[in-house]
Amino acid sequence: MAANVHILWLSPVMSSQGLTPKKGVQLPFRPSSPAGKDPVLMPWRGNGGRVVSPVCCSSSSNGRGPEPMDDGVKEVQQLIEEKRRAELSAQIASGAFTVDRPSFPSQLRNGLSNFGIPAEVLDILFKWVDDGYPKIPEAKGSIRAVQSEAFFIPLYELYLTYGGIFRLKFGPKSFLIVSDPATAKHILKDNSKSYSKGILAEILDFVMGKGLIPADGEIWRVRRRAIVPALHQKYVAAMINLFGQATDRLCQKLDAAASDGEDVEMESLFSHLTLDVIGKAVFNYDFDSLTNDTGIVEAVYTVLREAEDRSVAPIPFWEIPIWKDISPKQKKVNEALKLVNDVLNNLIAICKRMVDEEDLQFNEEYMNEEDPSILRFLLASGDDVSSKQLRDDLMTLLIAGHETSAAVLTWTFYLLSKEPAAVSKLQQEVDSVLGDRFPTIEDMKRLKYTTRVINESLRLYPQPPVLIRRSLENDTLGKYPIKRGEDIFISVWNLHRSPHLWNDAEKFNPERWPLDGPNPNETNQNFCYLPFGGGPRKCIGDMFATFETVVAVAMLIRRFNFEMALGAPEVKMTTGATIHTTEGLKMTVTPRIRPPILPNLEPVLKVDPLDGSSSREENVVAQKGQVSSAHP
Ligand code: HEM
C-alpha cells in the first residue's frame, strides 16, 4: 500500500516545561554507534554519522524536483540542521521530553487533601487505586524539534528512551506510539475489529473516498471480498510478463543514457516504471510514463503529491473555506483530480462494454489474455458496485501499488550501491537462473537471493514506515488500559530496526534470511517484521509487489552496473506516503560486462540415448561480452 500519514500536521504546539524523567520509565538503553555502521541509517546523529554520498538529483518528472540552491546556503542550512538534530538527541537523552504530569488519581488525591482529608485516610484509599493503574509513559513533543525531519526518526530515538509503547503529546493532540511486536499483533490481528484507519481515512478521503485502504466496517469487508480473488495465481503469472516488459523498457532507456554518458535519476525512473506497471495491472491503461510525460501522468503525480502534502501539513489547509476555493494550488489539484477521475470513469465504461461483448465464461481464475486487469475481473464477476465505489477502488490500488514498489526499488538500489559483494551474488544468481531470457513465474522460486535482498531492503526501509489506527472502543495494550478514540501509530520503522529484536539491526544483511528458509513475513517473524502489515488489513498486493521488485532488480543488475554519480549531495530521507530521498538517487549506469564462463576441460560422459554406450568429449564453452537484451 502506499499512502500513510504523518504526525506533523497534527502537532503545532511546543512546550518543554516541568519535564523530568518519569518514575518507572525505562531510560536506559542508549543506542551505541559502532564504527562501521551505516551512518545514513542513523541520521539523527549529526555530521559524525553521515556518509556524504556522491549523489545528486536532476529535476525529476515525478513532481518532486529539488529547488536549485547555492552551495554556501546549503552548507549553512546543513550545519543548522545538524545542530538542531544534535540538540534534539541531547534533549531526548536528558529526559527533557518526559512529562512528569500527575495522574488523575494523584490529582484527585491532592484535591481531597486540600479539603482537609487526613493523609492516613488518603493513603488507604489511594493505595489500591494507584497500584492497579499503570500509566503509559508520556513524551511531550516539540513541533520545531522534529520539523523538517523525516518524522519517524525522532520517534525511533524516543522509542529507545520510552520503550515499546508511549504517548506523544503535542499541545492538545496526543498519539500512542507502538513499537512492540505483541502490541502490534494485538492491534492489527487479534483485536483488529476494535481499530479503524482513523486520521488516514480523513486525509485520504479526497482521493480514495471509500477505497480499500481507508474504508472501514462493512464497506471494507465487501470490497476486500470482491477484490482479493482478482489477484489469483494465473493473474500473477501474467503479471510477471508485464513486469519483464516494463523493466525491459527501462533497460532501453538506461542503455541510451549509458551510451550518451549521462547520469540518471533512478528514483523518478522507478516511479515511472511502477506507474506503468500498475496502470496496466489494475485497469489496462498504458501510462507509458517511461517514454512520455503526458497530461494524465502529470495529473496523477499532482494528486499523489497532494495526498502526501496533506499528510505532513501543520494544519488542514484544504479545509479553510475561502482559501480552498481560490488557492491556485488547490485549483490545480482539483483539475488534476477531475482529469484522473474522467480517465478512470472512461476506462470503466469501455471495460463494461468489452465484458458485455465477450463470450468468456466467468470462473474463479477468469482472465482475459488481452486485458488481464483487475478491473476486467471485477466487471466480469458481476461485481454489483456503484461506479463511484469502483473508481475509489481503482484509485486506491493505483496509489497503493505505485509509490510503495517505487520506494522499495529506490532504497534497494541505494543499499546495493554500497554492497558490491551482494551485487556480485545477485548477478551470479540471475545469470544462472535466467541467463538472457525474461523471468517467468517458475523463476520466482529460484531467484532466492534476489528475494532476500528485497526482504532485507523492506526491513530497513519499510513502506510506509508507520501504520495508523484509531481505537473504536476501550481496550488494553499490554498492561495499559486505553480509551476509545486514541490515535495510534505503529512504528514499523522502530520494529524493523529495534536493537532488542535484531542482531546488527542497522546492517544490510540479506544473509540473515536463510535461502532455504520460509519467506519472512509477520507470522513467522512474530510481528517483529511487518513489511506488508498483518491481520485482516494486510496488503493484498504482497506477492505482486515482491515479484515486481524481484523482476526489476534481476533484469537491471544483469544488464548494468550501478554506481552513485560523482559530485552529488548525500542521500537523505524524507517522508511522503512512503520514504523518499530528499534529492533523488542519481546514479551512473554502465553496461555490465558479463564475466567469461571458463571452459570446462573436464571430459564429460556422453550417453548415447539409442544404445546406452558412452563416449568422452571435451566440453568447451566460452562466452564473453555484454549482456544482451532479454528476450523471452
Ligand atoms: C512493495 C510494495 C508494497 C508494500 C511495501 C505494501 C505495504 C502495505 C502495507 C504495510 C499495508 C497495510 C496497511 C495498514 O495496515 O494500514 C498495505 C495495504 C494494502 N496494500 Fe500494499 N504494499 C505494496 C504493494 C501493493 C500493491 C502492488 C497493491 C495492489 C496491487 C497493494 C494494495 C494494497 C491494498 C489494497 C491495501 C489495503 C488492504 C486493506 O486494508 O484491506 N499494495 N500495503
**DSSP readout, 126-165?**
HHHHHHT-----EEE--HHHHTTS-THHHHHHHHHHH-SE
Q: Got the DSSP string for 402-420?
A: HHHHHHHHHHHHHHHTT-H
Is the pTM higher than 0.90? The answer reads no
Which residues make Cβ contacts (< 8 Å) with residue 558, sequence separation at least 6?
A: 427, 430, 431, 434, 592, 627, 630
Nearest protein CA to atom 1 of ligand 1, as residue:
405
| Average confidence (pLDDT) per 10 residues, the chain, 632 residues | 34 24 28 30 27 28 47 68 65 56 64 76 66 76 61 90 90 88 98 94 90 94 96 96 97 96 95 95 93 84 84 74 81 92 93 90 91 95 89 94 95 98 97 96 97 98 95 95 95 98 98 96 98 98 98 98 91 87 95 72 48 40 38 33
Q: Got the DSSP string for 516-540?
A: TSPPP-TTTTTTS--BTB-GGG--S
Report the pocket of ligand 1 as residue ranges, CB < 6 Å: 1, 212-213, 224, 396-397, 400-401, 404-405, 408, 463, 467, 531-533, 537, 539-541, 544-545
Q: What is the pLDDT of residue 130?
A: 52
Distance from the CA of 463 to the center of ligand 1, in angstroms? 9
What ligand 1 atom has the least distance to the C-alpha of 408?
Answer: 1
Distance from the CA of 232 to the center of ligand 1, in angstroms? 16
Contact 461, 531 (CB under 8 A): no
Nearest protein CA to atom 3 of ligand 1, as residue:
404
Task: Output the CA angle 222-227-228, nearest 5 degrees.
Answer: 105
**How far is it, in rounded angstroms, from Cα 300 to Cα 339?**
9
**How far is it, in rounded angstroms, from Cα 51 to Cα 41?**
10
Q: Got the DSSP string for 247-288?
A: HHHHHHHHHHHHHHT--EEHHHHHHHHHHHHHHHHHH-----
Distance from the CA of 532 to the center of ligand 1, in angstroms? 6
What ligand 1 atom has the least distance to the C-alpha of 544?
Answer: 27
CA dihedral 31, 32, 38, 39 (to 10 degrees): 80
Nearest alpha carbon to residue 220 among 235, 250, 200:
200
Beta strands in 463-583 (DSSP E): 466-471, 475-477, 480-482, 487-491, 560-564, 573-575, 579-581
What ligand 1 atom has the least distance to the C-alpha of 215?
Answer: 40
ipTM of the complex: 0.99
Beta strands in 565-602 (DSSP E): 573-575, 579-581, 586-591, 593-597
Q: What is the pLDDT of residue 115?
A: 78
Q: Cell 524516543 appears where? A: 158
Contact 497, 504 (CB under 8 A): no
CA dihedral 489, 494, 495, 498 (to 10 degrees): -150
Query: What are the φ/ψ torsions at residue 213 (nearest 5 degrees)?
Result: -70, -55
The full length of the chain comes to 632
User: Residue 433 has which C-alpha cell?
Assistant: 537462473
What ligand 1 atom has the least distance to the C-alpha of 536?
Answer: 41
DSSP-derived 3-state class of residue 20: coil
**Cα–Cα distance list, 513 to 404, 487, 508 (Å):** 22, 34, 11
**Cα–Cα distance list, 208 to 27, 143, 337 (Å):** 41, 28, 11
Q: What is the pLDDT of residue 113?
A: 73
**How far is it, in rounded angstroms, from Cα 559 to Cα 314?**
45
The b-or-e profile of 586-608 (16+ CB within 10 A means b, else e) is bbbbeebebeeeeeeeeeeeeee
Distance from the CA of 595 to the center of ligand 1, in angstroms? 39
Contact 6, 199 (CB under 8 A): no
Distance from the CA of 542 to the center of ligand 1, in angstroms? 7
Nearest protein CA to atom 43 of ligand 1, as residue:
1
User: Residue 317 has which C-alpha cell?
Assistant: 489547509
Query: What are the φ/ψ torsions at residue 310 (nearest 5 degrees)?
Result: -65, -35
Nearest protein CA to atom 13 of ligand 1, as residue:
533
**How far is it, in rounded angstroms, from Cα 264 to Cα 567?**
13
Distance from the CA of 464 to the center of ligand 1, in angstroms? 9
**How far is it, in rounded angstroms, from Cα 492 to Cα 508?**
17
**How far is it, in rounded angstroms, from Cα 168 to Cα 488?**
10
Nearest protein CA to atom 5 of ligand 1, as residue:
463
Distance from the CA of 537 to the center of ligand 1, in angstroms? 8
**How far is it, in rounded angstroms, from Cα 385 to Cα 382?**
9
CA neighbours closer than 13 Å in the CB half-sphere of residue 494: 27
CA neighbours closer than 13 Å in the CB half-sphere of residue 408: 33
Distance from the CA of 58 to the center of ligand 1, in angstroms? 29
User: Residue 447 has which C-alpha cell?
Assistant: 531467484
Amino acid at 526: N
Q: What is the pLDDT of residue 508?
A: 98
CA neighbours closer than 13 Å in the CB half-sphere of residue 220: 16
Q: What is the pLDDT of residue 627?
A: 43
Nearest protein CA to atom 21 of ligand 1, as residue:
1
What ligand 1 atom has the least distance to the C-alpha of 200?
Answer: 16
Nearest alpha carbon to residue 8 among 206, 188, 155, 214:
155
Nearest alpha carbon to residue 493 among 533, 542, 459:
459
Distance from the CA of 539 to the center of ligand 1, in angstroms? 4
Helical spans, DSSP H, in 261-385: 266-283, 295-312, 321-326, 328-357, 374-380
Q: What is the pLDDT of residue 5?
A: 36
**Cα–Cα distance list, 216 to 49, 147, 202, 547 (Å):** 42, 31, 12, 28
CA neighbours closer than 13 Å in the CB half-sphere of residue 248: 16
Dihedral sign from CA coordinates of 398, 248, 55, 69: negative
